[in-house]
Structure 1
Amino acid sequence: MTMHLHGSLLIEAEGPFNYDLTLKATPPAYPFVYFNGVLKRAITLNSGKRVPLRVKSLGTVDKPLLKVEVLTELNPQEAEEVKSSLTWFFSLDYDLKAPYRVMEGDEVLRRFKGLLYGVKPWVTLTPFEGLINAVLFQQLSLRVAFSMIRSLVERLGPKLTVGSCLFYDYPSPETLASASIEDLKSCKLSRNKAAYVKGLARSVMDGSLNLNELKKMSSSEAVEVLKGFKGVGTWTAEIALATGLRRFDVLPVDDLGVRRAVSRFYFKGRPVTGLEVRRLAEKWGEHKWTIAYYLLVANERLPTE
């Protein structure tokens, strides 16, 4: 349900959804900025119009209500597009009750369900952002990768100024495809990553990579398609699907963070193999990434015993 309210939109959703904890469990990547309960960024609509937004929560965990301050004029169709984008980003249409039923049957997961009640998995606003960010995440800590993403956005992303406030959007495929390798290296990317990013953006632009078509495929099929592009291996493809296309049935078993969390909470710290992680996660069904994400966050937030 969307209503105009003095230049703002209200978005209602089904609970549970913990707005603040979702945005603090893993902070959103740039161009999103979250501070003092307000999330801001610019988004580009299908028409090419750029819209600066501020979002805050007016509701509760069980009765979520978001207020979106729109800092430009929108017609009803544009307002619906903004709503749709934010519904996607916050996974407001993803019902946590389903994975919670799975977690209830596991003593470890039952604890984390309580600790992180209402947290939605970390995702990106668009599939393209998810794919490029997945490449940037390769073999780096989250802190270093986030710094790289911020540099990429600030140097190459579109920006809007409203009063004294600056809003960025993510660089478009066209921008990244036309950027030089040196341009991309100036954003802290290695030469290889710069080439991968430029190549993927070109593939999106020439139509050889259609990210919307991936939505129609099974996750395993989509992984194989993405692996056909230079710079994308199994791990990168799986991260891109989980975060950029909300394929929460995917589980990147070779992710070191996932392995460490599983090792800590299920194997008393013993190093585990990808096969052991896969076997453990079989009972998680179509909610593998959601549950793995809870383990990742718990491993970061809980002190080592």
Structure 2
Amino acid sequence: MIKSAAPFRLDLTVWALRRRANNIVDRWDGKTYGRLLALDGQAVDVSVTQIGPPDDPELKIEAAYAGSLSLKPALVTIVEQMLGTGRNLSEFYVLASGDAQLAQLAARFRGLKPPRFPTLFEALVNGIACQQITLTLGILLLNKLASNYGMSVRKENTTLSAFPRPEDLAGLEPRDIRRLGLSNNKARAIIELARMMTDKCLVQEDLDALDDETVLARLCQLRGVGRWTAEYVMLRGLGRIHLFPGDDMGARRNLQLWLKLKEPMSYEDVRRILSRWEPYSGFLYFHLLLDRLMRDGIYDKK
């Protein structure tokens, strides 16, 4: 069992992480969150269930793997990062209480925590794969990467797939990934990234110590990474919840609909409008994502 900072709702947080019901990496059955993790060379099937109400939340973590080495400390760390359980968001709720529009949204999704991908590599590959296509198609491409190149196990007549590690992709050629449906540029970018991370040329801990502008500049030096992908990674991969990916057209539309604005917004418009809710612009991004999933009938309790 681990405690989460209250309030916490596993269902909301998992949906903000998985985004689509057909996501095979992040699984949700209405009660339990499941993910196959590649940890210390082992495929670990992790299940997380919430015990207790949002204001007194505990999480039950179960793990199945073949090895005898104890992975509990590492597992707890990863789960806490992915589900944001250590985030104290009391100041966000204070901010929301003084803003009628934000208060309504915050109340609707009370208990949401800002999720994170477990690795910088996964965040970057998600960002690259989902560029300039629909999120639904992006998730399908990521599913193919996982099922073809991630570690896997059989469970109840089903094959579970982990998201690929850098070492799973570093030895491939662009044509190997292109056959899954990714463009040549995306395939080259992903393989180059995998090789960089395998060679320790890009390390998350190095980025964690840097300010936003420096991280943005470094990420934009990578093949296939522009401002949108970099800000997306800084939010979903590095946990910088004050950042709203202003070039994300879907996120812009979500913001526009929520604010009932008639005219499309520029990147500068987004930053100006969101300044009133700093330093929680990125956390607002997740609220608006859930709002959109519900309006589109994608989110449900399963």
Aligned match of 1:129: 122
Counterpart amino acid of residue 27 in structure 1: R
- Distance in 1 (alpha carbons) for counterparts of 2:175 and 2:96: 47
1:12-54 deviations in Å (ceiling 9; x for gaps): 2121111112223563554121123222222122x32331122
* Matches of 1:300 and 1:43, distance apart in 2: 26
User: Per-residue displacement from partner, 1:224-279 (whole Å, max 9, x unpaired)?
Assistant: 10111111101101101111111112121121122212222325332122211111
In 1, Cα distance between equivalents of 2:252 and 2:230: 18
Structure-1 separation of matches of 2:244 and 2:12? 23
Query: What is the match of residue 31 of structure 1?
Result: 25
Is the aligned partner of 1:17 residue 2:11?
no
List gaps (5 residues or longer) in structure 1.
Answer: 1-9
1:99–1:291 contact (8 Å) kept in structure 2: no
Partner of 2:178: 185
Q: Is the 8 A contact 1:264 1:270 kept in 2?
A: no
> Partner of 2:245: helix, strand, or coil?
coil
| Range with greater deviation from structure 2 (16-25 or 226-235) | 16-25
- Aligned residue for 1:60, secondary structure, equals coil
Please report how far the alpha carbon of residue 73 of structure 1 lies from its aligned counterpart in structure 2 after TM superposition: 6.8
Letter in 2 for 1:148: L
One-letter amino acid matched to 1:251: F
Of 230, 246, 249 in structure 1, the residue corresponding to residue 242 of structure 2 is 249
**Structure 1 residue 292: Cα displacement:** 2.4
Q: Distance in 2 between matches of 1:121 and 1:70?
A: 23
- Distance in 2, matches of 1:140 and 1:265, equals 23
The one-letter amino acid paired with 2:13 is T
Greater CA drift, 92-101 or 22-31: 22-31
**Separation in 1, partners of 2:275, 2:51:** 38
Contact kept? 1:40, 1:167, Cα under 8 Å = no
Task: Give TM-score scaled by structure 1 length.
Answer: 0.89
Q: Is the 8 A contact 2:169 2:194 kept in 1?
A: yes
Greater mean deviation of Cα atoms: 93-102 or 294-303 = 294-303
Does structure 2 conserve the Cα–Cα contact (< 8 Å) formed by 1:96 and 1:118? no
CA contact (8 A) 2:38 2:151 kept: no
Q: CA RMSD in A?
A: 2.0
TM-score normalised to the size of structure 2? 0.90
Corresponding residue pairs, total: 293
Matched, 1:173 2:166: yes
